[in-house]
Structure 1
Amino acid sequence: MRISTNVTYNDFIKNLGANASKVQKSLNQLSSLKEVSQSSDNPLLVSKIMNLNVSLSRNATFNQEIKDTRSWVQTQDSALSNVSDSMRRIRDLIQSTGSGTKDADAVRANKNEIQQEIQGMVEALNTNFDGRYLFGGQKTTEPPFAVERDAKNEVVGIKYNGSDANLSREIADKVTIDIPTNGGEMMGVEVEVEENGKTETKTEKLSDLFGNIVKQINIYLGETDQTTTPPPPTPGDDTTLKKFTDEFMKKIDMFSDNIVNFRTKIGAVDNRLKSAEQRNESDKINLTSALSERQDVDIAEKYMEYQNQMLAYQTTMAMGTKIMQTSILDYVR
């Protein structure tokens, strides 16, 4: 078969272009440290890299969500710790008031401190995190608790203005967690009472308890003429006041336990978030490793490949020089 000079030239140019293209590709990979720089290089590989990048981005979003939520529940626990301290102090003041060893001025001072503790509880329950209130249910932009006052402007209770629903957060793909934010759960306790020979369930409210405490102390001090059921203590009658304070302490303990139970829920959420955070970090490592295997260049291996391609390119150039220098005189000789 006869091979013309034109065919030889065409083959040389084709091989030279192919080798130059390989060298250029290797140079791009070495300079960018990436296997591919555009989708046409390897469409399937580019698709996998894009999916991994999306997964890493979502992983980072979930990681931030988990961290924010952990900070949220830890702030909640800290606030409720203050509330529990106030409840204990109120109990001590009630016990002191009913001890029968306090004069009117001391009882009045105890009442004033109880009212201050109630206001302190409201301040703690209105704690906000990053501009959002922690115990307002899904109403996070307005203070959920307010101090209730009587006609004499005395503190007599706590009012809850939040919603009855908890907040939900997505901490992983299609995985959500409820944060205990319904502060109303701490304001009421279900108790069983016997009425007319039947056992019924009724709701005891913390606000009513505080109001009754202040009211009974005022009656004891002779500063109100309101009547209560059971009959109020006689002004200055320590024995009757002690019966009331014993009952109040039992109810304070009941509500304190209710707050502890609420804190227990928060602790359980924090533990779950901690586990989710560890899984998230593990997923991040796995995704980053998978992305690196597909996207990043092995510099040593790629440089060896580049050297071989350069050798092939230079060899092609050398052979091309010999071919180009051939003329009709070489055949005449």
Structure 2
Amino acid sequence: MGRVTNAMLSSNYLTNMNRNLRNMQVLQSQLASGKAINKPSDDPYKASRTMQLYTEIDSNKQFNENIKDISNWLDTTDTALNQAGNVFGRIRTLLMTAGNGAYGEDERKAIQDEVKEKVNELAQILNTNFDGAYIFGGTKSTSKPVTVDTDGKIKYADKGGNATTDATTINQIGSGLNVEVSEGVLIKYNKTAVDILQYKDKSGASQNVSDLLEAIEKNLDTPATTTTSFPGTPGQEMLTGTLLGQVDSVIQNLLQRRSEVGAMTNRMESAQSKNEDENLDMTDILSKTEDIDFTEKMMSYSMMQTVYMASLQTSAKILPTSLLDYIR
């Protein structure tokens, strides 16, 4: 066995002393921050896991912010669809009234004027704006989706607000919008002017609301004639028969759209609840990963202090500092 020199004793002492001091510093940092990991080198695996959990929690919070915004959008959509339903409910009442054989030209003209007002009201509803976006505009949400032309018909509108039949523009208006509500899960959340202006009658044939409203106005103006939009029937019978049936189909379409909006709202609420539950779970895991047990750490710190002080006292006895130690 080799000779143990004073230099070796000093070196070992300093090594152990510094290790004890570093351990105390780590414990002090943990107690001050309340975190087990204050830098990646403390525990690379836990540091990586912690950063991943923070990222996932932040993502879920953003998803729920998206859901909150879209829920407000859907509420606005439902309100607008309800208003559109009220418009056609009133038009239906007017058609029933106009079917009264005792009504003269003046009464029918008054009904026609109110129908024209309802056309403008419907256009305003279709141009409902939420937070700077037109909710029925599809991907063309920065400009109004419809306008009323000089003939009083509702038409799709270009970016300048002018009536257009451009297929690209109409496709944009009819396009769906999606939002990410959780990782990789997209939900369509909008209804479009196309969804409202296009409907199917009782036979399943596609019809257009604008054509229907024009036919109603024409039949109120000239009750004895027929229209080109729907099969030929005498005016009064047209109002209370064919056209009334078409209005019922429009109302049914609006109810269906409202039902779809309700289903979207339910999906949003379910996604929000799921995200909140996941965040609670991840926050719990995060706490277990990075938070310290204060009682345990205080005990460890007290023990480390004792070890450190003992090492100081021991070193003072076993490491001679001068020749006087040998003389004694």
Structure 2 length-normalised TM:
0.87
What displacement does 1:65 show? 1.3
1:247 aligns with one of 228, 242, 245: 242
- The match for 1:159 is 155
Structure 2 match to 1:42: 43
RMSD: 2.3
Measured in 1, the distance between the counterparts of 2:135 and 2:291 equals 44
Query: How far off is 1:299 after superposition?
Result: 2.0
1:208 aligns with 2:208: no
2:191/2:257 contact within 8 Å kept? no
Name the counterpart of 1:196: none
Contact preservation (8 Å) 1:35, 1:295? yes
- Tell me the distance in 1 between the aligned counterparts of 2:4 and 2:232: 125
My pick for the range that moved more, 12-21 or 322-331, is: 322-331
Q: Which runs of no fewer than 5 residues in structure 1 stay unpaired? A: 194-200, 234-239
The 2-side partners of 1:264 and 1:60 are apart by 28
Q: Do the aligned partners of 2:199 and 2:250 also contact (CA within 8 Å) in 1? A: yes
Separation in 1 of the partners of 2:244 and 2:259? 22
Distance apart, 1:323 and its partner CA: 3.0
Q: Which amino acid aligns with 1:185?
A: D
Of residues 299-308 and 242-251 in structure 1, the stretch that sits farther from structure 2 once superposed is 242-251
CA deviation digits over 1:198-240, x for unaligned, max 9? xxx74221111100111111224x9xxx87456686xxxxxx5
Q: Which runs of 5+ in 2 are unaligned?
A: 158-169
Describe the shift of the 1:227–1:241 C-alpha distance in structure 2 as closer, same or farther (beyond 3 A): closer
Q: Which moved more, 1:117-126 or 1:241-250?
A: 241-250
Q: Quick one: structure 1 residues 205 and 273, their matched pair in 2 at CA, closer, same or farther if it must change by over 3 Å? A: same
Which stretch of the first structure deviates more once superposed, 56-65 or 78-87? 56-65
Query: Which residue among 173, 178, 182 is the counterpart of 1:172?
Result: 182
- Which residue does the alignment assign to 1:198? none
**Aligned pairs, number:** 311
Q: What's the CA shift for 1:127? A: 1.0
Identity of aligned residues (%): 32
* 1:260 counterpart = 2:255: yes
Which is further off, 140-149 or 251-260?
140-149
1:217 paired residue number: 220
Q: Residue 314 of structure 1: CA displacement?
A: 1.1
Contact 1:95 1:246 in 2 (8 A): no
> Which digits, 9 at most, give the CA deviation of each residue in 1:25-69, with x for residues without a partner?
111111122212222222111111111111112111211112222
Q: CA deviation at 1:247?
A: 2.0
CA contact (8 A) 1:59 1:280 kept: yes
Distance in structure 2 (CA, Å) of the matches to 1:202 and 1:247: 14
Alpha-carbon shift at residue 88 of structure 1 (Å):
0.1
Q: In the aligned structure 1, how far is the partner of 2:46 from the partner of 2:323?
A: 51
Q: CA deviation at 1:241?
A: 2.0
**TM-score, normalised to structure 1's length?**
0.86
Are residue 140 (structure 1) and residue 141 (structure 2) matched?
A: yes
Tell me which residue corresponds to 2:5. 4
> How far did 1:192 drift?
7.4
Deviation at 1:252, TM superposition (A): 0.3
Mean Cα displacement is larger for which, 262-271 or 82-91? 262-271
2:73 is equivalent to residue 63 of structure 1: no
Distance 1:136 1:210 in 2: 21
